[in-house]
Amino acid sequence: MRFTLTVLMFAILFSTRIDASEAQRMFETANDFYSKEAYDSAANYYEKIITSGTINSTVYYNLGNSYYRLKKPGLARLYYEKALKLSPSDKDIETNIKFISANIVDRVPEPDRDFLETLLWNLHILLSLKTQLWLLVAFLLVISLLLSFALYTNRNRRLWMIYISVLLSLVTTVLGISAGVKIYDLEKKSYGIVLVPSLDAMNQPDGSKILFTAHEGTRFFIRKVEGDWSLVSLPNGVSGWIRNSDIGKI
């Protein structure tokens, strides 16, 4: 577990609707409250930073730490998951999520990956989506230049340029597939975390039959939303309807 704070300069934040110096001031204030074990106040300031429009994994991570200290595992995991979404290769975030998941009452374990699946997954999360998109543009530009120069050089150099272009094309294809999967997950897939001590999943909205009970901190896939209810699925495939007010969307 790693529940220590991470410090950053707000000059590198992805986006914020308030002045960077004001965001930095609130961040330092939140960190100061956290170091004094005033976790409620720390969480309040981290929330203010997020409400201002800031999108950054460090803020989410520190807020998750604050909620963990406040013994709110649901909110802690929610913000750890938000942080991991922005920094998928961060081992500290991943470790904290695993710790909370391991302590959920009647938890439903997620399917284990075999060696090949683990290898492919680690390669998939090695780079952020933003980095992958920049690399795709760069590789496509290099491939275009190599093929253009190949038209005006001798045979030996032309063959080398073609070989390099083919290799870069393969790498570009893999990057493109990985980036496409990430974009699909961001746009089409939605996940949630149980924020209440426990909830009953029903057979339909306002239904009378309980299909399963989930506890605080449980993560699930949101299949669809109808009014105040969501149809969700656990890692084992079991599905049911739960109230939107009892969950937090990642």
pLDDT in tens, 47-59: 999 988 878 889 9
**Would you say 75 and 195 are in contact if contact means Cβ atoms under 8 Å apart?**
yes
User: Quick one: 10-102 is in which CATH superfamily?
Assistant: Tetratricopeptide repeat domain (1.25.40.10)
pLDDT of 13 > 70? The answer is no
Beta bridge partners of 215: 198
| CATH number of 191-249, picked from 3.60.15.10, 2.30.30.40, 3.30.70.260, 3.30.365.10 | 2.30.30.40
Q: What is the mean pLDDT of residues 1-20?
A: 53
State the Cα–Cα distance between residues 218 and 197, nearest whole angstrom. Answer: 10
Whole-number pLDDT of residue 52: 84
Any idea what the Cα angle at residue 84 is, between residues 89 and 131, rounded to 5°?
Answer: 55
Task: Tell me the per-residue pLDDT of 133-188, one tens digit each, with 9 for 90 and over.
Answer: 999 999 999 999 999 988 888 888 888 999 999 999 999 999 999 888 888 877 77
Percent over 90 (pLDDT), the chain: 50
Beta-strand pair 198-202/191-194: unpaired
Whole-number pLDDT of residue 8: 54
The DSSP element (H or E) to which 41 belongs, if any, is helix 39-51
Whole-number pLDDT of residue 14: 42
pTM: 0.73
